[in-house]
Structure 1
Amino acid sequence: MMKIGIIGATGHVGSFLTEEALRRGHEVVGIVRNAPKTIVEDNLTFLHSDLFNLTNENIKDFDVLISAYNAPEGEEIQHLAAMKHLVEILAGTDVRLLVVGGAGSLYVDANLTKHLYDTDAFPDAFKPTSINMGKAFDYLQASKDVRWTYLSPSADFLVNGARTGKYKVGQEQLLIDKYGKSEISMADYAIAMLDEIEAPEHQQQRYTVCSI
């Protein structure tokens, strides 16, 4: 059993990660600004805190810290500030950082020169989030003293998708499934992240997952 802190544990992705970690018998600390009063489960507690108020003292006893942080609309620049803060409080510790990344910064060409968010089909409304998440990833990738893994979903990140337990893995390029779609359910994404936590294969790397 590991002690896993989850920033944004009650959000869309965070809820699936929390559920999957609990299903596997881990101790989960949900890090949220407003802890729900109606959720009572074994091995689940809540830490009332904004990400930017977290300190080394708050996280030093975790085996893993997952960030499912998503900046508010109009404040997308906060993605970079959030990453800088996490790197600062985690530097020099043994706590592993797992980041719920975005698909927009994945590449769509074999030469790794064109991001998904550079394509004509990418919605303008999503560009501020994707571009700023990409900047946060670049900062994390350049960090020297943090144990990290960054997991990007596919282009379509499905809240109501099936929990199949199956997925395929890639690195820097956007993946597609056998039907020509780039999608992954949040349930299968959570399985992939917990698989990585329990059996690390992508330390100091970004990788991506897609439905089969």
Structure 2
Amino acid sequence: MKIAVVAANGREGQLVVKEAVERGHDVTAVVRGDNKTVAKNVVVKDLFNLTAADLAGFDVVVDAFGAWTPEMLPQHSSSLKHLCDILSGVNTRLIVVGGAGSLYVNPEHTTQLKDLPTFPAEFKPLAEAQGKALEELRERSDVKWTFISPAADFQADGERVGSYETAGEELTVNAAGESYISYADYAIAVVNEAEQAAHVGERFSVYAK
């Protein structure tokens, strides 16, 4: 498969590139500066300057964009809109590296993880921004999108176990009552979805056993 990873120099982006390359896919890293990934194919361009021509011919585009400072948080929405606009009406699938804060914690889907009083206050603005981007994405019927939420405890340096469980829109815990996944195992889920196209037009979540 031909896979492009946008914002590939980020920690999750690098792992997605590595996972896809090791499986033999033709991977292109889209980065703003020097390529820090193992991809041999590189497009050096800011996400907001990408055109439809830049992403033409790919089977899958992975959006690994992330922003954390208050002034940058709105770019979760604007960057995703830009990618959707240039992928509108084509067969290329868009897989979005999402967050856990928008996962529901009740069967009625009226309360999200970020709404709980126990949710860390410092992460709430990020969760709100990612949740807004997801809601906007749900309105797009012109793009073959998938949004993948990690577990609540998303560990950058966690061990690559090589397996994970999938769930839907609700926060799900393992047998030990934990909602955890490593960046490396999340990357496996991203590339599996790229290969299998099992959740087109859906948000799903992943967590460690």
Taking the aligned partners of 1:167 and 1:28, their CA distance within structure 2 comes to 23
* Matched residue, 2:52: 56
Taking the aligned partners of 2:127 and 2:40, their CA distance within structure 1 comes to 31
* Matched residue, 1:101: 98
- Equivalent positions of 1:1-212 (< 5 A) are 2-36=1-35, 41=38, 44-74=40-70, 75-212=72-209
- 1:30-64 superposed Cα distances (whole Å, 9 cap, x missing partner): 1111123x76x5x6221111111111010012111
Structure 2: runs of 5+ lacking an equivalent: none
SS in structure 1 opposite 2:108? coil
- Give the CA deviation at 1:86: 1.1
Quote the sequence identity (%): 42
Taking the aligned partners of 1:190 and 1:148, their CA distance within structure 2 comes to 17
Contact in 2 for aligned 1:8/1:67 (Cα 8 Å): yes
Taking the aligned partners of 1:35 and 1:141, their CA distance within structure 2 comes to 33
Contact in 1 for aligned 2:68/2:126 (Cα 8 Å): no
What is the identity, as a one-letter code, of the residue corresponding to 2:95?
L
Taking the aligned partners of 1:108 and 1:30, their CA distance within structure 2 comes to 35
TM-score, normalised with respect to structure 2: 0.96
Taking the aligned partners of 1:64 and 1:108, their CA distance within structure 2 comes to 30
- 1:46-94 superposed Cα distances (whole Å, 9 cap, x missing partner): 1111111111010012111000101241221111111111111010111
RMSD in angstroms over aligned alpha carbons? 1.2
Count how many residue pairs are aligned between Structure 1 and Structure 2. 208
- Give the CA deviation at 1:137: 0.6
Taking the aligned partners of 2:174 and 2:6, their CA distance within structure 1 comes to 30
Deviating 4+ runs (over 4 angstroms):
none
Taking the aligned partners of 1:199 and 1:4, their CA distance within structure 2 comes to 13
- 1:104-135 superposed Cα distances (whole Å, 9 cap, x missing partner): 00011111110110011111111111111111
What is the identity, as a one-letter code, of the residue corresponding to 2:83?
L
